[in-house]
Amino acid sequence: MNNNEISSNFKLTLFGNPVLHSKSPWIHTRFAAQFSGLNVDYSKTESPLDAFPKTVFAFRDSGGNGANVTVPFKEQAYPLCDEHSERAQIAKAVNTLKFMPDGSIYADNTDGIGFIRDVQHNHDYVLTGKRILLLGAGGATRGLLYPLLQTKPHSVVIANRTLSKAQHVVTEFCQYGSISAKRFKDLKAEFDVMIDCTSFDSWPLPIPKDIFQQCALVYDLKYSDKPTPILERAIHYGVKQCLDGFGMLVEQAAESFTLWTGFQPNTATVLEEYKTR
């Protein structure tokens, strides 16, 4: 048997609510097909909002090897886990669970590294030295912040409907870089990069209309078959790079896949197949 011929079965799932729309099973099935003998059964599990821990433990006890976690459970998943990667510990939000043979749960957060790889590697856009605006202050923002600050941007501003939540995030992350909180209405058109980390899928948010003026990159963590409302607006204002979250989804998935299986999949072929499907 050579290195590419292995024989292993992995039972994996995505926990979220809702999860119906997710492309994660498609992505992980494509990754698994890159390694002969690797069998991945990746399902979607819609957890009741009030029974997330019970849903996770039931999957683990049925022989599950690992899971991804999406909206709205990333922060709730954190205290369920016995051990955390450094980035998950800093984010206090997790998107990847690994069920260990002794029943304990190891947690990681691969969202931030997925975002950085998509922007810097797939789209050749360097974040170092840039003025960055993050919209939202929930689990998605928390997952992104530490890897983002490690790229040494000029500054990061977090704007959120609930200002106190943004301020709280700033208090936790200010030791890692230049970061501040603002109200939507106080924002000015002074950003190179704007990242929408909210779960709000309409537009506009109550932010100044000219906010895109100096932006070279607008990134919506959400993804859809057609441009999301914020990207439609950014395209209208002539922003050079308008990206949705599919690239990040594939990159974070690759990192999770490697944690579970030990194999590093090729993301470029999956991104290409998605574009031409």
- Indicate the helix (H) or strand (E) that contains 203: none
Q: Given the rule CB under 6 A, which of 2-10, 158-166, 222-230, 249-257 is the region that contacts ligand ATR?
A: 158-166
Q: Given the rule CB under 6 A, which of 23-31, 46-54, 138-146, 227-235 is the region that contacts ligand ATR?
A: 138-146
- Structural contact between residues 181 and 159, judged by C-beta atoms closer than 8 angstroms: yes
β-bridge partners, 97: 67, 107
CB of 135 to ligand ATR, least distance (A): 8
Residues 6+ apart with CB under 8 A from 235: 227, 242
Q: Which of 113, 140, 218, 254 binds ligand ATR (CB under 6 A)?
A: 140
Applying CB under 6 A, does 168 fall inside the site for ligand ATR? Answer: no
Q: Given the rule CB under 6 A, which of 96-104, 159-167, 209-217, 250-258 is the region that contacts ligand ATR?
A: 159-167
**Which residue minimizes CB distance to ligand ATR?**
138
Q: Which of 139, 147, 247, 265 binds ligand ATR (CB under 6 A)?
A: 139
Decide whether 44 or 165 has the Cβ nearer to ligand ATR.
165
276, burial (CB in 10 Å: exposed 0-12, middle 13-18, buried 19+): exposed
Decide whether 72 or 227 has the Cβ nearer to ligand ATR.
72
Q: Given the rule CB under 6 A, which of 40-48, 83-91, 192-200, 241-249 is the region that contacts ligand ATR?
A: 192-200
74 counts as catalytic: yes
What are the structure tokens assigned to 134, written together?
């993050």
Dihedral sign computed on CA atoms, order 135, 141, 144, 146? positive
- Structural contact between residues 107 and 78, judged by C-beta atoms closer than 8 angstroms: yes
* Whole-number Å distance between alpha carbons of 40 and 28: 7
Amino acid (1-letter code) at residue 191: F
CB of 159 to ligand ATR, least distance (A): 9
Single out the catalytic residue among 74, 130, 182, 222. 74
CB of 164 to ligand ATR, least distance (A): 9
Amino acid (1-letter code) at residue 208: P
* Whole-number Å distance between alpha carbons of 220 and 133: 12
Applying CB under 6 A, does 199 fall inside the site for ligand ATR? Answer: yes
Residues 6+ apart with CB under 8 A from 186: none
CA-nearest of 58, 147, 62 to 111 is 147
Applying CB under 6 A, does 137 fall inside the site for ligand ATR? Answer: yes
Binding residues for ligand ATR, rule CB under 6 A, total 18
Applying CB under 6 A, does 136 fall inside the site for ligand ATR? Answer: yes
Residues 6+ apart with CB under 8 A from 50: none
Residues identified as active-site:
74
**Footprint of ligand ATR on this chain (CB under 6 A)?**
71-72, 74, 136-141, 160-162, 165, 197-200, 205
